Amino acid sequence: MAESRVTDDLLTRPLWREEHLGLPLPDSPHAISVALPRWEDVVGYEEQRPAVLDRLTAGYPRFRIPDLVAELARRLGGGAPCLPFPSARVAAACVEFIRKQSGEDARVVEEPGVAAVVTSERGSGALKDFWQHAGFIVSSRQAAALLAGRPPDAGSDEARRLLRKRLAGLYGCAEEDVFLAPTGMAAQALALAAVAALSPGRPTVQLGFPYVDTLKLQQKLGAGVTLLHDLATAAADLEALLLRQPLAACFCEIPGNPLLGTVDLARVGPILRSHRVPLVVDDVVATPVNVDLSPYADLVATSLTKYLAGTGDVMGGALVCNPSSPLHAELRAVVRLNHEELLWGDDAVVLESRSRSYPERVARHNANGLLVAERLRAHPAVEKVWYPKWEDAAAYEHVRRPGGGWGSLLSFLPVDAATAAPRVYDRLAVCKGPSLGTDFTLACPFTLLAHYEELEWAESCGVPRYLIRLSVGLEQPEELWQRIDAALAER
């Protein structure tokens, strides 16, 4: 109840002003977002300015180590660079990654329930990269329990079982086809490990402009990746690529983030099936409530952190093996071989509880997202809106369920964006910080936040640096629109 209350507070009293910089979103020791209320705060965060960093009390856990996890790392590392992982197998993979990436040595320190990796200062960058890209992290709830010497919630096993059952119902598969993970990126990493085991040494391909860590995962933990960012030519480009080289898998997002375009699976699917190349789809933005990917996807990697949880204070992920896939038996066998049950019990309890209202909340997200997207599209101060109803609309309609919606994630570009976007962002009276899918609306200048060191590359892929992304929440829609409209006003 307490977690629900702090989330509800942000619906009516968002943290959006200058003085809110660095506050957790929501007000919880397990918050996964942090208030970055001004455009300059985001720039300062990316440029590592002490005036911003010193005020941060939270952050997305794969990017900013949660305080409880940092305390556990200090205890295990004895002052050396250290991060805790949820299993010895994960820790060993991290050690191998550090040696390969940096040439530095690393060692594993094991205690009951945790395996920490300790390395040198020169190996610390690779250590953090593995934590960020692979996603097999120790959650803040797990760290709190380990620090206190406390076992997970007594209902953990039952919570995980019910969560798998609920996800199986949404995806139309057996419970045995659902593999839980500590984060959405860990689900992606599990998928990458599975396709790599079936096709060792083969590279992968990414269709559409990707979420940053999806690409980094394939680059750094895979056998290389080709990015085909232009969805208009993706099918033809993929076909040509397959004539030149075999692939381990094809990855895509339905729809993409932040441009909300959809890969034409009706064209891409048969190409991949003819070459027996698995298709791994990230459906986080659309959700299984809105789309049915079963005719095309072989594996679906999803984040339970986002819409399923909605509270912004718990991490989790799942990899789903599609029973309709001709590769189902071999993929499920290798996923099962690689999988460990690493979703911490206390996190599973929170996620299971929230999953009960998931479809109903997604329906409300759909309605609010569509209202805001349509009004932004008609607004004279807005140059462009990206939303699945209009971006590659036919491709999205092809997988949209009867009665399904277009979700609540959208991006927009103000007129005269170079000068207007910072002003509009600063004046937006909604919570502003990383992540998406929360019950409360969450805005961010996505390109700055995700691609600050590669802005020109992002723009070459059609992603403007002044784009503002909105994850529309469950606020009263007219009241929310008044806040957005006020930010766009000329004054």
- Report the pLDDT value the prediction gives residue 491, as an integer from 0 to 100: 57
The pLDDT, as a whole number, for residue 154 is: 86
The ranges of the chain annotated as CATH 3.10.28 are 67-138
- 161 is written with which tokens? 């079982």
| Structure confidence at residue 3 (pLDDT) | 43
Q: What is the pLDDT of residue 151?
A: 87
State residue 8's pLDDT score: 66
- Assess contact for 325 and 280: CB atoms under 8 A: no
Do the beta carbons of residue 221 and residue 134 sit within 8 Å? yes
DSSP3 helix / strand / coil % (the chain, rounded to 5): 45, 15, 40
| pLDDT, position 14 | 97
First-to-last CA distance in the chain? 41
The Cβ of residue 149 has, within 10 Å, a number of other Cβ atoms equal to 8
Sheet of strand 106-111: strand arrangement: 82-85, 114-119, 106-111
Residue 320's contacts (CB-CB under 8 Å, 6 or more residues apart) are: 167, 171, 173, 177, 178, 179, 299, 300, 301, 302
Return the H-helix or E-strand segment holding 469: strand 468-471
What is the DSSP secondary-structure string of 247-280?
A: -SEEEEESS-TTT-----HHHHHHHHHHHT--EE
Predicted structure pTM score: 0.96
Q: How confident is the model at residue 12, as a pLDDT?
A: 94
Amino acid present at 108: V
Burial of 476 (C-beta count, 10 Å sphere; 0-12/13-18/19+): exposed
Q: What is the pLDDT along the chain (491 residues), one digit of tens a residue?
A: 334 445 669 999 999 999 999 999 999 999 999 999 999 999 999 999 999 999 999 999 999 999 999 999 999 999 999 999 999 999 999 999 999 999 999 999 999 999 999 999 999 999 999 999 999 999 999 999 999 999 888 889 999 999 999 999 999 999 999 999 999 999 999 999 999 999 999 999 999 998 889 999 999 999 999 999 999 999 999 999 999 999 999 999 999 999 999 999 999 999 999 999 999 999 999 999 999 999 999 999 999 999 999 999 999 999 999 999 999 999 999 999 999 999 999 999 999 999 999 999 999 999 999 999 999 999 999 999 999 999 999 999 999 999 999 999 999 999 999 999 999 999 999 999 999 999 999 999 999 999 999 999 999 999 999 999 999 999 999 999 999 999 999 75
For the chain, where do the domains classified as CATH 3.40.640.10 start and end?
156-355
What pLDDT, on a 0 to 100 scale, did the predictor assign at position 45? 96
Considering the domain 67-138 in this protein, what is its CATH number? 3.10.28
CATH class of 156-355: alpha beta
Q: Where do we find the tokens 């992603």? A: 463
